Chains A and B, each alone.
Chain A
Amino acid sequence: MCEACPVIDWAQELPTVRSFTARKVDADMTDHIVWFDRYESEHKPFLGGKNSSLGEMMRAELPVPPGFAITTNAYGLIWSDPALVDDVNDLLRSIDHDDLTGNRKTAGRIRARIEAAPIPEDVAADITEAYAALCRHCGVDDLPVAVRSSATAEDLPDASFAGQQDTYPWIQGVDNVLENVRRCWSSLFTDRAIAYRHSMGYLHRSIAMSVGIQKMIDPVASGVAFTLNPTNGDRSQVAVDASWGLGEAVVSGEVTPDHFLIDKVLREIVKREISDKHVEYRLNDAGVVEKMDVEAERRSKPSVTDEDLVAVALLARRAEKHYGSPQDVEWAIDRHLPAGENVVMLQSRPETVWSQKPKTSVSSSSGDPIRSIVSTLLSPMHVSDGGAEDQDDNRDNATASNQKSSETE
C-alpha cells in the first residue's frame, strides 16, 4: 500500500480533437479517430509520439502504409465506467513497491481488469467503421493490420519510458482489432511502467494512450537507414542495413545484415557488403510470423535491388529534410505492392549520436582564398583509390543497426 503514490483523477477532461473534412482514405475523422493522411500538428497531444510521427511522415509525403490513430479521447472514455476506476484504484493502492513479484501479479490483474471492460459503444462503433474503411481502401477483407500503442504524456519528455510501447502485428478482423486495442490501453499498467511512474513521481493520469491501426505490410526485405555515415558522420551519405523478411532479424542482431552506403547527391551506391543472411522472419501459411531458415541460394544474394536502395536513401533524405535533422529510419520493401511503389517507411526518428556533436566549420577561418590554397598545398593530400570507400571503416563496430541497438539500450 502506498499512500504517497498519486492515483488517477479521472474527472479531468481531456481536450477534444476537431474533425477534418479533407479526405484521402474515404472515411470520417471523429473525436476518436485521426487518419494519418489528414494529420495536423495540433493532433499531436491526442496521438502520442509514435502515431504523430506517422502522421508527420505522411504529411511529408513519405510513403507510410495507410491507417488511422485512435485518439487519447477514446482511451479517456474507458474511465467513464466508475466500477473500472474503483477497481483499478484499489489495485494501485495495494501495491508495495518493494515487492517485485507481487507487483507483477497486481499489474497483471489491473491489465486483466481493463481488458475485461467493454469498450464504450461510440468508440467501438468508430473503430469498427474506421477499420472497415481501411479494408475498403486497401481492397482487402479483414485486412491484416499492425495495432500499436503510442503513449502520450503532456509535459513529460520521456513518454516512451513512462508507458509501455507494444506492437501487435498481423491482426485481422474487427474483433481481433478491438481486442488488441484494449491490450494497448492496458499496456500502460505493466509493473515496469507503474514502477517507473512511481519512481519519477508522475501521475498515472498524466499518461494517456493512443493506438495506431496501420495496414500491415509483408516485407520481402526490410531494414534501417541512417542519413549519415555512422563511421565518420559524413552527412552526404545514407547508411542502409538490410536483410530478408521483417525487420526483427536485423534489429535483434540475429542476422548480420547487408550493409550499403549511398551518396545522397550522386544517388550512387558507393559501398556494398553482402553478408550471409541465414534466417528471416516472415508470415507462414497460417498467417503467423515465424522465424525461418533462408534457402541457400538466397542467403548471400543482396536483399535489396540497387533501384530500391536508392529509393530508400532518397526517402530517408526526404525525412531528414522534413525534420531538419539526421534521421534513423525503418523501411521495408512490400511483397504485394507494385514495383516503384513498394518501398515503404515504417518509422523515422532523430539520429542521436552524431547529431549531438556541436556543429563545427571545416573551412579555415582566414577567409583568404590564396592563403587557403597555401594550406592545401602544405598538407598531404589524399585521393581515395576506391571512390567513397572508407579505408579504415570498421564495420563490426559501426553498422547502422549496431548504432541503433546501442541507442535503444
Chain B
Amino acid sequence: MADKRFPSPFELEGPEGIEGWEELYPYSVLFSEDRREYEEDRFWFWDSMHWGAAMTPWDSVFLEMAIASLSQFNSRHYRIPPADGIDFRVLYGYPYFSPITIEDGARIESRVPEFMERAGHYFVNWNDLYDNWLGKIKTSIDEINAIDLSPLPEMEDLSVVTDGIGTGSGHRLLEEYRTLKNLCLKVWQYHFEFLNLGYAAYLDFFGFCKQAFPSIPDLGIAKMVAGVEVDLFRPNEELKVIAQKAIDGGLARVFDNPEDVAGIRAALAGTDVEAHWNEVENPWFNFSAGTGFYHYEKTWIDYPEIPYAFIRDYIIKIEEGHDITRPIEAIQAERDRVVSEYGELLQTDEDRQAFQEKLGLARVVFPYVENHNFYIEHWTMSVIWRKLRELGANLVKEGIINEIDDVFYFRRDEIDEVLWDAYSAWAVNAPNRGSVYWPPRIARRREIVAKMKEWKPPKALGEPPSVVTEPFTIMLWGITSDSVTGWLGTDENSDELSGMAASPGMVEGPARLIFDADDIGDIQDGEILVAPITAPSWAPVFPKIQACVTDIGGMMSHAAIVCREYGIPAVTGTGFGTSQIKNGQMIRVDGTAGTITLIEE
C-alpha cells in the first residue's frame, strides 16, 4: 500500500460554486499554506459517524468544542501515555481528524506515573465522581435554561431604575450570549471527563479477552460489559409504557393519525396517558432523532408526531399479541451465562482472577460510556439548540435575519458583533447595519452549505498511517490499520462489503436507504436499514427491520449498542454501504462475519 495514498487536502477539489466557503469557519480549523508542511504529512480521516453532513457555521462549534475537550483530557488532564489529542480541520464543510500519537519512548515513560496517579484517582472514586457528574450536568442544563435572551425592550423595566441596577438589556444580551458559549464548552468538557478513561478500562478488558481467546468475536466481549438498564434505552421504554396505558385506557385509536398533534393532545387531556407523558417528557423526550450534532435534527419533545408514530406502531404490535416489554431478567441471565461460560474456559486461576477484576472495572466505567450520550448529545444539546433558536427569534425581530434558523449560519464570534450592532442601534435608536448587511450574506452561506451537503467527501486525506495505535480512534471510530488499508483498496464494483460484526445473525431482505432521520417513517416491515449512521432514537423502528448496515462506527458506536439490544444482525463501519447498496436491492447481511452480499443488481 506504500504507493497508495489519500488525496492531499491541498489538491482535493471541492464542490462547484462554493467560493468563499472558508469564512464560514474559524481560521484555526482551515488547512492553510502556512501550516502546509505539518498538515500534508499527516493522515486525516472524516468523522462521518458524528458529522455525516456539511456543517453550518454554528453547528461546527460543537465539533471544535468536542474534539478540543477530548484532546485536553488525553493530553493535559490524564496524560494518556502514548496519545495526545486529535487534531481537527474543516474542509468544504466536513470535519477531518488526525490523532496525535506520541512515539518518543522516553516521553511516554515519563507520563506513565502521571497517568497512573490521575487516572487512578478516577478509577478508584468512579461512582462518587459519576454521581457528582450527573449533578453538574443537571446544574448546567438549568443554567442554560435560565439564560435570558429575551428581546431588547422598548423601555427598560421600572425596577431597573428603582433597584439601582445601573446596566441595561443590551449588556444583559451580550453577557448572556457569552454565558451560553461558556456553558456549551463546559458541558463538552464534562462530556470527556470520564469517556477517555472509560474507553481505556474497556480496552484493557477487551485486550485481555483477545489474548485469552484469540478468535473471540468483539460482540462476545461487548455482551459481557453492556449494561442492562441503560438510560439511553429509557425514552423508548417510556413509549412502550404509554402505548400500553393507551390500550388499557381505551385510547389506542387516538394515535391512529400521529401527525395530528393538536388532536391527540386534546384527546389525551386529563387521562393517565397524558399524566405519564408529562411525568417523563423531561428529561426523557429531550431525545434527538439524529446524533444531536445538527441544529435541524428534531427532538421528540419539540416534535411529538415522531414519538406519537412510534407509540402507534407499538399499539399495533401489542394488539397483534406481541410482547414488547424488555425482558430484563432474561437479558440479565444471558449476560451472566456468557460471563460464566467464557470464565470457565480460561486456563489458570490467575487468568480467572484477572478476568473478574478487569470485567469488574469495565462494568463500573461502562454506565458512563453508555449513558453520557443521553445526557449530553440528547438532553443538553436539545436544550442548547432551543436556546439558540430563541436567539434566532430575537434577531429575526431585530430584522437582522429572515428566519430563526439563519442564526446557525453565523460563526460564534460573529454573533458577538451582531448583538453589539443590535444593541448599539437600539441604544442610539437608529438603524442597525445588520439588517442590510447580513440577509444577502446569509443567503449566500445557505447556498454554499447546500452545495457542500450534496458533495461526497473522501473518507480520508493524506498519508495512510503505518499502524493505528491511538486507542480512542480505534475504540470509537473503529479505525484500524486494516480498515484504512481497506478504504484504499476498495473495489467499487465488488458485490461484497465488509465491516464490523456488530450484532450476530444472518438474514436476507430488501435494503432501505435512509439518509435523513425525517425519512425513518418510510421503513417497512422486513426491510434492512442501510444508513450512514443510526441514532439511538431510531430504536422504535428496530422491531420492524430485519437487519441494519451503517457506513461508520465501531463496536461501541451508539448504533452497535442499540442493534445488539434489539437482537437483529448488524454490520457497522462498512465505509461504503450507502454508496454501493441501492434502495430496494436484495442483500444478505451476516452480522456474525461482518459481511454484506449484494444478491441482485
Residues of A within 8 A of B (CB): 229, 232-237, 261, 263-266, 268-272, 359-363, 365, 367, 369-374, 376-391
Q: What residues of A have a CB within 8 angstroms of the CB of B478 in the complex?
A: 383
User: A362, A376, A388: which contacts B203 (Cβ < 8 A)?
Assistant: A376
Q: What residues of A have a CB within 8 angstroms of the CB of B353 in the complex?
A: 363
Q: What residues of A have a CB within 8 angstroms of the CB of B475 in the complex?
A: 383
Shortest Cβ distance from B115 into A: residue: A374
Pairwise interchain contact B215-A373, C-beta atoms closer than 8 A: no
Q: What residues of B have a CB within 8 angstroms of the CB of A363 in the complex?
A: 208, 350-351, 353-355
User: B119, B216, B357: which contacts A236 (Cβ < 8 A)?
Assistant: B216
Distance in angstroms from B556 CB to nearest chain A CB is: 10
**Inter-chain contact total with CB atoms closer than 8 Å:** 166
- 22 pairs, A vs B, C-beta closer than 8 Å: A235-B213, A235-B347, A236-B216, A264-B345, A265-B220, A270-B215, A361-B348, A362-B208, A369-B358, A370-B120, A374-B112, A377-B80, A377-B81, A377-B82, A380-B468, A383-B218, A383-B555, A384-B217, A385-B482, A385-B498, A385-B594, A388-B501
Answer yes or no: B259 CB below 8 A from chain A CBs: no
Given contacts A266-B338, A359-B348, contact A370 B116 (CB under 8 A): yes
Distance in angstroms from B68 CB to nearest chain A CB is: 21
Interface residues of B in 187-226 (CB under 8 A from A): 200-201, 203-204, 206-208, 210-220, 223
Distance in angstroms from A282 CB to nearest chain B CB is: 29
A71 vs B341: C-alpha distance when bound (angstroms): 39
Q: Quick one: which of A232, A377, A379, A384 has the most chain B CB within 10 A?
A: A377
Distance in angstroms from B113 CB to nearest chain A CB is: 10
Given contacts A363-B350, A384-B218, A385-B498, contact A373 B201 (CB under 8 A): yes
Answer yes or no: B342 CB below 8 A from chain A CBs: yes
B interface secondary structure, majority? helix
Q: Which 4 A-B pairs have the closest CB atoms?
A: A387-B501, A363-B354, A236-B213, A362-B211
Answer yes or no: B483 CB below 8 A from chain A CBs: yes
Distance in angstroms from A389 CB to nearest chain B CB is: 6
Answer yes or no: B486 CB below 8 A from chain A CBs: yes
A268 vs B217: C-alpha distance when bound (angstroms): 10
Shortest Cβ distance from B360 into A: residue: A369
Write the B332-343 contact mask toward A (1 if CB under 8 angstroms, else 0): 000001100110
Pairwise interchain contact A361-B361, C-beta atoms closer than 8 A: no
Distance in angstroms from A294 CB to nearest chain B CB is: 24
Given contacts A383-B555, A385-B486, contact A390 B214 (CB under 8 A): yes
Distance in angstroms from B148 CB to nearest chain A CB is: 45
Pairwise interchain contact B499-A234, C-beta atoms closer than 8 A: no
Answer yes or no: B247 CB below 8 A from chain A CBs: no
Pairwise interchain contact A374-B81, C-beta atoms closer than 8 A: yes
Pairwise interchain contact B347-A378, C-beta atoms closer than 8 A: no
Q: What residues of A have a CB within 8 angstroms of the CB of B223 in the complex?
A: 266
Pairwise interchain contact A387-B200, C-beta atoms closer than 8 A: no
A261 vs B215: C-alpha distance when bound (angstroms): 10
Distance in angstroms from A200 CB to nearest chain B CB is: 35
Distance in angstroms from A197 CB to nearest chain B CB is: 39
Pairwise interchain contact B207-A376, C-beta atoms closer than 8 A: yes
User: A268, A377, A379: which contacts B200 (Cβ < 8 A)?
Assistant: A377
Q: What residues of A have a CB within 8 angstroms of the CB of B341 in the complex?
A: 264-265
Answer yes or no: B48 CB below 8 A from chain A CBs: no
User: B82, B123, B213, B480: which contacts A383 (Cβ < 8 A)?
Assistant: B480
A229 vs B217: C-alpha distance when bound (angstroms): 13
Pairwise interchain contact A388-B81, C-beta atoms closer than 8 A: no
A391 vs B350: C-alpha distance when bound (angstroms): 29
Answer yes or no: B108 CB below 8 A from chain A CBs: yes
Pairwise interchain contact A381-B203, C-beta atoms closer than 8 A: yes
Q: What residues of A have a CB within 8 angstroms of the CB of B65 in the complex?
A: none
Shortest Cβ distance from B339 into A: residue: A265
A374 vs B208: C-alpha distance when bound (angstroms): 13
A235 vs B215: C-alpha distance when bound (angstroms): 9
Answer yes or no: B554 CB below 8 A from chain A CBs: yes
Q: What residues of B have a CB within 8 angstroms of the CB of A379 in the complex?
A: 207
A385 vs B216: C-alpha distance when bound (angstroms): 12
Q: What residues of A have a CB within 8 angstroms of the CB of B83 in the complex?
A: 377
Pairwise interchain contact A236-B348, C-beta atoms closer than 8 A: no
Interface residues of B in 12-41 (CB under 8 A from A): none
